[in-house]
Structure 1
Amino acid sequence: MHGPASLGWLLVALCAATGAYCLLRMRSSVEEQRRAAGGEALMGFGMAAMAVPAAVFTPPSWTWPLYATLFGAATLRALWAARSAPHHLHHLVGTAAMVYMALAMTASPGHRHHVHGVPGVPLVTGLLLIYFTGYVLLSGIRLVPDAGAASTGTVVGWGDRLELARACRLSMGIGMVAMLLTL
């Protein structure tokens, strides 16, 4: 990641912690939550790996095509899931954004963590920034508790709590915005 090392390390910590929490969410008794948590764990750890500051570690040139292939497969899986469940469209956009960033890193001169002169990069980056900024704002609003909601009294395991899953998605959205800004 191009930018201040402290920002990079904070992003690595945020994304890795989110990925770890999503792995724990995979123990849910609800199958749909387990599937979503698995995809989100992949995104969290992938974002953490991509966010390591370039001043500390410059990955070998084969890393970016590997990321593109891995997230390309995840994009196909998200596309397959989105045909029957439209709420998977966000996963589709997220994995496609990861493919885009990996390809942008592959196409950049010297495989550095910056992209100059690659056609279409500012337009696609701008569209992704608009999408993820909107997603972050909407996710933040969804975390505000509804004062009129009544408690059902049902005890839910911490891995099945909707507000924690939303906070996880919010943190990954913030991470995606930060990564796109440094692209």
Structure 2
Amino acid sequence: MNSSNLATDEKDLIKRVKSNKEVFIEIYDAHFQPIYNYAFYRSMNHSEAEEIASQTFLAALEKIQSFEYRNIPVVVWLYKIASNALTDHYRKKGKTVELTNDYVNVDSNCEPEQVVMDRSEKEQLIQQLKDLPSLQQQALVLRYIQDLSYKEIAQIMDKTEGSVKQLLHRGLTCLRERMVRYA
């Protein structure tokens, strides 16, 4: 499906949701998992990610009547709402990100020693990621975990594409330096 068909489909979906809020379930079904994943990789906590994702879709449903489609994908709008919800959450709570083992997938075919090494390396990478400045962390999660384009990230973060590339470069450089120190 090309981008003009996608834009037409999304525009039509927004119109249908505005006339019947029950149609919102289509937006929810299509975008819940990416929004949840984004919230999880920013919070490193499943219950907080569920809360943020729920807040995101509730806010989107409440704001859908005032939403104007301007050739920006609906998912970008949802990421922006999620980003704001995360900011509010941390402002209220204070930025304490707890690491859990929930994010570490274990391959059952691996030797136990390899599982321990993989888990240790992943934990260290996640720890270093969470210690980055918030904007660098957000840009890295959106690009390398959520696989969004520079343009989409720029729209979500209200930055230029050049600023996003700079945040990504600085974040990756900082992560590399920290991981070398860890090794």
Q: TM-score, normalised by structure 1?
A: 0.29
Q: TM-score, normalised by structure 2?
A: 0.29
Q: Using CA pairs below 8 Å that are at least 6 residues apart, which structure has the higher relative contact order?
A: 1
Larger % of helix: which? 2
